Amino acid sequence: MSVILITGCSTGIGFATAETLSRNGHTVYATMRSPERSPELQQLATDNDLSITILTLDVLDDHSVEDAISKVISKEGKIDVLINNAGIGSWGAVEELPMGSFKADMETNYFGTLRCIKAVLPGMRKRKSGTIINVTSVAGKVFSNFHGSYCASKAAVEALSESLAQELKPFNIQVSIVEPGVIETPIFNKVNTVPAGTNYPNIKRFLSIFSASLENHIPPSVVADVINGIVSGESKSLRNPAGPDAAGLLQWRNSTPDEDWVSSGGGNEEDWANGMEQMGLGVTKYLKEDGLPEIKQQVKLKAELQ
């Protein structure tokens, strides 16, 4: 069984992954920025006698990362698996989204991941053993309008992971990417507000896709199961789509010429909606919502009902 450190475990995918891996016999160190605000995982571990230890770790802080990893190594002697899951997301038009949102997405999703990787690598390299799992998103390969900040941060992790995988091959260290589709998690409750007076009304289309997709109620546990498959050795793949829509979305983008993909951002609303409906996404009713803030709240509400 493995000693595993996971970032971003207060809710969603991190929470589910900590539970799944511990139930499969692994020793799990579940980290989060403010454990005192999220006592549920510790209670779950206590009630079910799970091997989960909660640690404070802020992926934005060098000292916090080094301190948490030192505590694990001091007690266990090693970290077999690092799972970089902590993440945030912004949406909005590139012109209108503040620079601070772009910086925040990149700092957490990319630099936070990089910071943790650099902290565990010396030990893994010396032992010539280890696994690094980076949770990205289909958005790291499927770049859509009004999602530029988040897509850029996840694409950066995809590129880093592929480069890293080649570097670490001689040291018997596996690097895997997990690419979730639309998963019902609280990340939707943490995104920025879309301005009511936006100059880009087509953002309604973007938000309606999420509203329609969340009707499928795909739980974080489906991503946790994919991660468990990597940890157990069932998957040696670099990239691992997670969720029933993930592989289809990736294939759709790969099969669409770039010019056609770009053109999909225009066109009339009826034709666009019909295309989405043919793909099984009932977006029309959300496009009829009165105003952008209302659609945004609908997305949040659906994510809360998990």
Task: Specify the CATH number for the domain of residue 58.
Answer: 3.40.50.720
Strand partners, 130: 173
Catalytic residues: 150
pTM of the model: 0.92
Alpha helices in the chain (DSSP H): 12-23, 40-48, 62-76, 99-105, 112-127, 148-168, 203-213, 221-231, 246-255, 258-263, 269-278, 284-287, 292-304
Task: Indicate whether 211 and 169 sit together in one domain.
Answer: no
Task: Indicate whether 205 and 148 sit together in one domain.
Answer: no
Tell me, yes or no, whether 225 lies in a domain: yes
Number of compact structural domains in the chain: 2
Task: Indicate whether 240 and 273 sit together in one domain.
Answer: no
Which pLDDT score is estimated for 31? 98
Q: What is the DSSP letter of 198?
A: -
Which pLDDT score is estimated for 228? 98
Which pLDDT score is estimated for 215? 85
Task: Indicate whether 229 and 263 sit together in one domain.
Answer: no
Measured torsion, CA atoms of residues 290, 292, 298, 303, in degrees rounded to the nearest 10: 170
Task: Indicate whether 61 and 129 sit together in one domain.
Answer: yes
Task: Indicate whether 236 and 269 sit together in one domain.
Answer: no
Residue 168's alpha-carbon distances to 31, 117, 124, in angstroms, are: 25, 12, 10
Tell me, yes or no, whether 189 lies in a domain: no
Tell me, yes or no, whether 120 lies in a domain: yes
Task: Indicate whether 11 and 82 sit together in one domain.
Answer: yes
pLDDT beneath 50, residues of the chain: 301-306
Task: Indicate whether 115 and 148 sit together in one domain.
Answer: yes
User: Which structural domain, as residue segments, surrounds residue 286?
Assistant: 194-216+256-306
Is the alpha carbon torsion for 196, 197, 203, 205 positive or negative? positive
Tell me, yes or no, whether 87 lies in a domain: yes
Task: Indicate whether 99 and 49 sit together in one domain.
Answer: yes
Which pLDDT score is estimated for 302? 44
CB atoms within 10 A of CB 86: 25
Tell me, yes or no, whether 233 lies in a domain: yes
